[in-house]
Amino acid sequence: MSTTLLSRPSNESKPAEKKRSKLGFRLSILTCVFLFFAILLRGIATLPLDTSSLTPFQNWLNSVSDWIGNNRTSNPIFTFFINIIRDSINSFVTGIQYVISQPIGNNSAPLIGWFGIVVLLSFVAYAVANIRIAILVASGLVALGLLGFWQESMDTLALTLAAVVLALIVGIPLGICAGLFPRFEKLITPLLDFAQVMPTFVYLTPVTLFFLIGPASATIVTLVYALPPALRITAVALHEVPWSSVEAAISMGSTRMQALRKVQLPQAKRTIVVGINQTIMAALSMVTIAALIDAPGLGKVVIRALESLDIGSSFQAGLGIVILAVVLDRTTTAAASKVDAEMTLAISHKRHRQILIAGGVLSFVAIIFSRIFTWAGNFPGTGFIGSDIAKYTDNATNWFQAHFVNYTDGITNAVSYGLINPLQSILTNSPWFVTGIAFVGLGIIFGGKKLGIISSVCVLGIVGTGLWSDTMATLASTLVAAILTVAIGIIFGVWIGRSKRADRIIRPILDAGQVLPAFVYLVPFLGLFGATRFTAILAAIVYAAPASIKLMADGIAGVPATITEAGIAAGSSKWQMIIKVQLPSARRALALSTNQGIIYVLAMVVVGGLVGAGGLGYLVVAGFAQISLTGKGLAAGLAIVLLGIMLDRITQAIAARSTLQGNK
Amino acid sequence: MLDSQAPMISVRNMWKVFGANPEQIIGNPDADLTRQELRAKTGNTIAVRDVSFDVAPGEVFVVMGLSGSGKSTLVRCMTRLIEPTRGELRFEGEDILQVDEKRLRELRKTRFSMVFQHFGLLPHRKVIDNVAYSLEINGVGKSERHSRANEVIELVGLQGYGQAYPEQLSGGMQQRVGLARALAVDPQVLFLDEPFSALDPLIRRDMQAEVIRLHHQLGKTMVFITHDLAEAVKLGDRIAIMRDGAVVQIGTPEELVAKPADDYVANFVRDFPKSQVLTLRWIARPPAIGEDMNGPILPPTITVNNATRQIVESNLPIRVMENGNLLGVVTSQDVLNVISGSEL
Amino acid sequence: MELKTRRFRRGTALLLAVSAMTFAFPAALPAQAAAKCGTVNLADNAWVGYEADLAVVSYVLKNSLGCKVVVKNLSEEVSWQGFPTGQVDAILENWGHADLATKYITQQKAAVDLGSTGNNGIIGWYVVPWMVAKYPDITNWKNLNKYASLFKTSESGSQGAFLDGDPSYVTNDAAIVKNLKLNYKVIFTGSEAALITSYRAAQAQKKPAIGYFYEPQWFLAEVPLVHIKLPAWTQGCDADPKTVACDYPPYPLNKVASAKFMNSGSPAATVIKNFKWTNADQNSVAKSLAVGKMKDDAAAKIWVTAHPAIVKQWLGN
């Protein structure tokens, strides 16, 4: 619209340069002042707290959780509201289980046996995507059976489906509201941040207090994590619809609903399908953690294998989760691009319809088969390849441990003494107000007064949880993990971004890294690197690096051809191209991948607590396990959220800044 | 021209102020600040400033201005896509700013339609369903609306493209779809917001000719927004020139060229080939003493361009006569002055 | 658009028809053994010793009484939560948890103490065996400061690293270290898996490792960690968690069940009440599970077949 009225000064480049050198100046001043006071006031006001001690706030949280436990059967909020939610979710999940995973009554197979499911789901995949995806789905499902985890996989699928369906039922309408009403969006954004950064461990206990042990709790825990992407991406999808077409529709006399239904939603469809994909992936990533409160399925196998340090079995089940993830991811991705194709290409509907009817009949016959014949009802055999995979994994891990254990100590010590210890010593030994003011300063430098206020609220909030010292210890490990993650992100991102072939080979590995439950690789890591902070950092990197690498690779691949051509034309060597042309042009991607790196690393803080990282992660785990520490665990979760929001906002501000500069 | 008839659209003292507390700016000394000063002081922007004009039935009324002059906001205020801050807006005498949502939608569905700079087509619908959209929300049945849509598609010269998707068409063709869509409900007024500025010059010329043809064929009242003076002159019965939200001058093309209201308008029209617009009325001068008064006679409504040949070929001064009265004389020297730009 | 909606509608109709027919279709698959004692919900806590109890009890309930056993993977605290709601019928091996016992047994009367499992829990400080061979006097706590520097790691700074275990177990180690003036720093390994892996690696590579551990535990069959003697436990010496300077008390492990379940008259309640065996019994089953990687039922079957008299006692015959 021509109402953007501000005329820009013509000589823009000079002030920008000045601004940048000014930024560098301010940053170095801030660093110097921080270090000066950190050393001067060393050991004062560091707010340490013993593991077994509690602050009044933490005690209060304890009493809240006690109150819930005591009033569950009598308070009307529970009997009329929460219990009804619980019962409906429970019957929803068990309903799905009876259809695909659990035998009902005296039958030995669920309503639809494995054969029926394989044919039916392949047919669905064909209908929403294409024949290649249908084949992938069929082979993926059969592989699950061959691994020996048919029923467990279907239980996981049932729970995931239930959580995803609920997430979409709630998330899409709310996302539409957020897309239409900016005020509503502003209101719920912090809540979504909270839900995504809050470690799941923290609310496992409260959720079971509210909803008891069982499928309902497992579903809700998964739902909390899977809902935000559904909601956010729906809102984004509506924002992406060109305003001109909405305006046109209104100018023709459409009501708000008509514009939404006939103009905005059809155009937003593709992005919403992408949101469904993200929701499914988020739900799958909760499979193992939900197993801690008795969620059925593959996660349970992983957890039980971990008890006896059975690496082979846990890998075997982890592989099952990866297969499920790949199948669901590829299907929804293909469905999204098909939505695109349907928009512009007139597909021959008649032939398509005939095939669909044929497929439907085929599925029907397969379902009947799976109810008549035993071989089609329960997956035959007890896992033809599963035990072999477990055995090979064990052998490989043992070999690896035997051969590399001599080097691993050196690596652990180098990173610990070289990076973690100095950083942790500065952060935990300097007074809270010095470090706090440094954070507020960072906020102001990068994001102005508003970010300064957000940072100070976060700092004071962390102090309020009573866990400042633990937060600083966690921050030190988080920063080291983030630095290593970004370094890896740059190296691999540049490689993948520059080579299509590398991309094709590495991307599936990255996908697997993101969905393989951390529990699966924790034990081998423990064997190699001991119960140390470095092991925790390593686990965080495995989880965080894929996202970082992908963002970097997309950034490098997205550098406009004219820029790279100009670089080549100027006679740059390969390294000059990377360092002087491609990396600077992909500055925004670099900032974003740092941001995502930190968020992903923070998501693993709790897992780190399971392998010796201490800090907030350990407190969260302890809070889940010990009744007297419940309040402290909640407080630790809160501290993680506050730290996460602060780091996220600051790095986002940095990213936004590099976008502005990148556009020049 | 058409002044004798009751206006189709009448705009009175219309204001649009963006930002917080817009009402307070109007009538306040702040309203006289420059745009930057006001923005720095209150954060407000005045996009439309006390605008009044009438549009007669069947007229092509052009609003012209540079980007940021408020013309797009003005046209949106006229359809209430943006709510004006203050003012009066009448459509065939009906006070549009007072009507409720339902009546407004009814008006939009049946009386006026709009063509947009970036087309605003719905990418997920075929051409025919784009054109039939407003019929669809009017509750017209499928076969009826498709047959009506096909008629309009033919009218804009897109026969055979009904089943295509917008993305498969060129820019010019997409805007033809936009035109067809606007015409589908047979509206009384068409609002065209810089409809051709995203198109190539050659295609733009075709589309302008198309609008002229449609105007002759259908006789719709049009409010046409543009930043291109040539386009304004070519299409407009009258032109309003906007600057910083205010209308600086309203007049026929020749009035603007002949008598610019201020330096801003003068600057605007300076490089415009005046001979295309000016009629003999504007350059006829009283005969000098002793000038030969036996030259050929021409009417005052003929443009300089069209009269040039006769004037140059005549050895005697041309007499400009209207209803038997002598308005003045014109010689080839006067024509040369206009063409070379030294006149006026 | 139009076309598609119709297609979807037809698809939905088809799907509905399919599901309707599948429901109506007579189930032709073979039926399982009919249940006599109903369903028993057993908590499954996160250590292998518990797993062994669970395997054997479930096996007996299923095969001798025809019960349907539902196993719930839960942490200890969450298991107790299940008593008042009826979601957990019994916990087969409970380690202390006086606070939970007060809340659910004494106050809410939702749970009942079913007495000892016959296993005696020992919690304490342990050291890897190769070190005892090399430094025999290390098993006395008074000598620990002498060896503190051996245990230094990247995690413990200038002090020796003392490994603490799964956060579910309430430990006094930090207080003990402090009150006995030992030059050690407690490192929270965060999970049993981490703790065991640390000891296993230390023994294999002849690296020092000292920390918290407990018996019965199958891992002791693989690496016989050596118990270090702390100042002996006396009644009340650990009353104040801040001033503890003595060893852990012996833990007679017990079974806990929900009051509702015990009053239900289920024959399974009798079996769980009578369930009792020795540390050696549990370790043998646990080892089949953890080291032999056997399935629960297979491991249980071996032990049950070998000990018919004990099982008969449990069944109350």
Q: What is the pLDDT of residues A457-499, one digit of tens each?
A: 999 999 998 899 999 999 999 999 999 999 999 999 888 888 8
CA distance B126 to chain C (A): 10
Q: Which of residues 249-288 of C touch A (CB under 8 A)?
A: none
- Kindly identify which residue of chain C lies nearest to residue B125, measuring between CA atoms: C1
Q: Is B21 on the interface with A (CB under 8 A)?
A: no
- Kindly identify which residue of chain B lies nearest to residue A345, measuring between CA atoms: B165
Instruction: To the nearest 10°, report the CA torsion of A47, A50, A53, A57.
Output: 30
Q: What percent of chain A has pLDDT above 90? A: 16
Q: Is A294 on the interface with C (CB under 8 A)?
A: yes
CA distance A249 to chain B (A): 8
CB–CB contact A73 C28 (8 Å): no
Q: Which of residues 17-56 of C touch A (CB under 8 A)?
A: 18, 21-23, 25, 27-32, 34, 46-48, 51
CB–CB contact B122 A3 (8 Å): no
Res. A386: pLDDT tops 50 = yes
- Best mutation target among A1, A3, A250, A272 (most B Cβ atoms within 10 Å) is A3
Q: What percent of chain C has pLDDT above 70? A: 87
| CA-to-CA dists, residue B127 to A355, A478, B131, B139, B155, angstroms | 28, 55, 6, 19, 14
Residues C109 and C134 in one domain: no
**Two tokens, residue B131:** 């054109």
Q: Which of residues 37-96 of B touch A (CB under 8 A)?
A: 39, 45, 47, 67-73, 79, 81
What's the one-letter identity of residue A392? Y
Q: Is A606 on the interface with C (CB under 8 A)?
A: no
- Domain range for C128: 121-227
**What average pLDDT does range C67-90 have in this prediction?**
87
Residues C205 and C287 in one domain: no
CB–CB contact B73 A3 (8 Å): yes
Q: Is C77 on the interface with A (CB under 8 A)?
A: yes
Containing H/E element for A439? Answer: helix A432-465
- Kindly identify which residue of chain A lies nearest to residue C188, measuring between CA atoms: A612
Residues C116 and C259 in one domain: yes
CB–CB contact C47 A307 (8 Å): yes
CA distance B125 to chain C (A): 8
Res. A663: pLDDT tops 60 = no
CA distance C289 to chain A (A): 8
**What average pLDDT does range A436-454 have in this prediction?**
90
Q: Distance from CA of residue A287 to its chain's centroid?
A: 13
Q: Is B129 on the interface with C (CB under 8 A)?
A: yes
Task: Tell me whether residue C184 is in a domain.
Answer: yes
Interface confidence, given as ipTM, is 0.79
Residue at token pair 């300089």:
B304
- Chain A residues near residue C7 by CB distance under 8 angstroms: 349, 353, 356
> Least CB-CB distance to B165: which of A6, A249, A343?
A343
- Chain C residues near residue B126 by CB distance under 8 angstroms: none
- Chain C residues near residue B129 by CB distance under 8 angstroms: 1
Residues C57 and C201 in one domain: no
- Kindly identify which residue of chain C lies nearest to residue B124, measuring between CA atoms: C1
Residues C126 and C116 in one domain: no
Contacting chains of B (3 CB pairs or more, <8 Å) are A, C
Residues C102 and C131 in one domain: no
Return per-residue pLDDT of chain B as tens, 344 residues: 444 578 899 999 999 998 888 888 887 787 788 888 888 888 888 899 999 999 999 999 999 988 888 899 999 999 888 999 999 999 988 898 899 888 988 888 888 888 988 888 888 888 999 999 888 888 888 899 999 999 989 888 888 898 888 888 888 899 899 989 988 888 899 999 999 888 888 888 888 988 898 888 888 899 999 998 888 888 889 999 998 889 999 998 888 888 888 888 888 787 777 777 788 888 888 888 877 788 888 888 888 888 888 888 888 888 888 888 888 888 888 888 777 765 44
Q: What is the pLDDT of residues A128-182, one digit of tens each?
A: 888 889 999 999 999 998 888 888 999 999 999 999 999 999 999 999 999 999 8
| CA-to-CA dists, residue C151 to A133, B304, C144, C229, angstroms | 55, 105, 10, 18
**Two tokens, residue A600:** 């992903």
Residue closest to C247 by CA, chosen among C125, C93, C109: C125
Q: How many domains does chain C have?
A: 2
Residues C184 and C208 in one domain: yes
Residue C146 neighbours by CB distance under 10 Å = 12
**Band (C88; pLDDT cuts 50, 70, 90):** very high
Task: Tell me whether residue C248 is in a domain.
Answer: no
CB-based contact B229:B237 (threshold 8 Å)? no
- Best mutation target among C7, C72, C81 (most A Cβ atoms within 10 Å) is C81
Contacting chains of C (3 CB pairs or more, <8 Å) are A, B
Q: Is B254 on the interface with C (CB under 8 A)?
A: no
CB–CB contact A628 C170 (8 Å): yes
Spell out the long-range contacts of C271-274 with Cβ–Cβ below 8 A and sequence spacing 24 or more: C271/C57, C271/C60, C271/C61, C271/C64, C271/C65, C271/C314, C271/C315, C271/C316, C272/C57, C272/C90, C272/C92, C272/C114, C273/C114, C273/C115, C274/C313, C274/C314, C274/C315, C274/C316
Spatial distance between the Cα atoms of C313 and C294, rounded to a whole number of angstroms: 26
**What average pLDDT does range C205-218 have in this prediction?**
88
Containing H/E element for A581? Answer: none
Query: What is the predicted pLDDT for the residue at A19?
Result: 60
User: 3-state SS of chain C?
Assistant: CHHHHHHHHHHHHHHHHHHHHHHHCCCCCCCCCCCCCCEEEEEECCCHHHHHHHHHHHHHHHHHHCCEEEEEECCHHHHHHHHHHCCCCEEEEECCCHHHHHHHHHHCCCEEEEEEEEEEEEEEEEECHHHHHHCHHHHEHHHHHHHHHHHCCCCCCCCEEEEECCCCCCCCHHHHHHHCCCCEEEEECCCHHHHHHHHHHHHHHCCCCEEEEEECCCHHHHCCCEEEECCCCCCCCCCCCCCCCCCCCCEEEEEEEEHHHHCCCCHHHHHHHHCCCCHHHHHHHHHHHHCCCCCHHHHHHHHHHHCHHHHHHHHCC
Question: Helix B171-183 crosses helix B142-155 at what angle (to 10 degrees)?
Answer: 130
CB-based contact B222:B190 (threshold 8 Å)? yes
Residues C20 and C80 in one domain: yes
Q: What is the pLDDT of residues B121-177, one digit of tens each?
A: 888 888 999 999 888 888 888 899 999 999 989 888 888 898 888 888 888 899 899
Q: Is A343 on the interface with B (CB under 8 A)?
A: yes
CA distance C62 to chain A (A): 16
- Output the domain CATH number for residue C28: 3.40.190.10
**Two tokens, residue A32:** 């110097």
CA distance B266 to chain A (A): 23
Q: Is A303 on the interface with C (CB under 8 A)?
A: yes
- Chain C residues near residue A292 by CB distance under 8 angstroms: 73-75
Domain ranges of chain A: 17-46+393-663, 58-100+153-346, 102-146+347-384
Q: What percent of chain B has pLDDT above 70? A: 97
The half-sphere exposure of A385 on its side-chain side, counting CA atoms within 13 A, is 10
Residues C115 and C37 in one domain: yes
Question: What is the total residue count of chain B?
Answer: 344
The top-level CATH class assigned to A17-46+393-663 is: mainly alpha
Task: Tell me whether residue C245 is in a domain.
Answer: no
Q: What is the pLDDT of residues A279-333, one digit of tens each?
A: 998 898 888 888 888 788 898 888 878 777 788 888 888 889 999 988 998 888 8
Residues C68 and C142 in one domain: no
Residues C260 and C116 in one domain: yes
Residue at token pair 């959209």:
B133
Q: What is the pTM of this model?
A: 0.78
- Chain C residues near residue B124 by CB distance under 8 angstroms: 1
Contacting chains of A (3 CB pairs or more, <8 Å) are B, C
**Two tokens, residue C75:** 């942490």
Residue closest to A517 by CA, chosen among A332, A329, A298, A295: A298
- Kindly identify which residue of chain B lies nearest to residue C2, measuring between CA atoms: B142
Query: What is the predicted pLDDT for the residue at B48?
Result: 92
CB–CB contact C88 A532 (8 Å): no
Task: Tell me whether residue C37 is in a domain.
Answer: yes
Q: What is the pLDDT of residues C158-189, one digit of tens each?
A: 899 999 877 777 788 888 999 999 999 988 88
CB–CB contact C7 A353 (8 Å): yes
Query: What is the predicted pLDDT for the residue at A3?
Result: 34
CB–CB contact B72 A6 (8 Å): no
The residues, ordered by sequence, that sit 6+ positions from C103 with a Cβ below 8 Å of its Cβ are A627, C80
**Band (A515; pLDDT cuts 50, 70, 90):** confident
Q: Is B227 on the interface with C (CB under 8 A)?
A: no
Task: Tell me whether residue C237 is in a domain.
Answer: no
- Output the domain CATH number for residue C184: 3.40.190.100
Task: Tell me whether residue C49 is in a domain.
Answer: yes
Residues C112 and C127 in one domain: no
Fold entry, domain A58-100+153-346 = MetI-like fold (1.10.3720)
- Chain A residues near residue B45 by CB distance under 8 angstroms: 3, 5
Query: What is the predicted pLDDT for the residue at C24?
Result: 40
Q: What is the pLDDT of residues A194-240, one digit of tens each?
A: 887 777 777 787 788 788 777 888 999 999 888 998 998 899 888 88
Q: What are phi and psi of A347, to 5 degrees?
A: -80, 145
**What average pLDDT does range A411-429 have in this prediction?**
89
Task: Decide which of C210, C227, C244 is a domain's last residue.
Answer: C227
Task: Tell me whether residue C232 is in a domain.
Answer: no
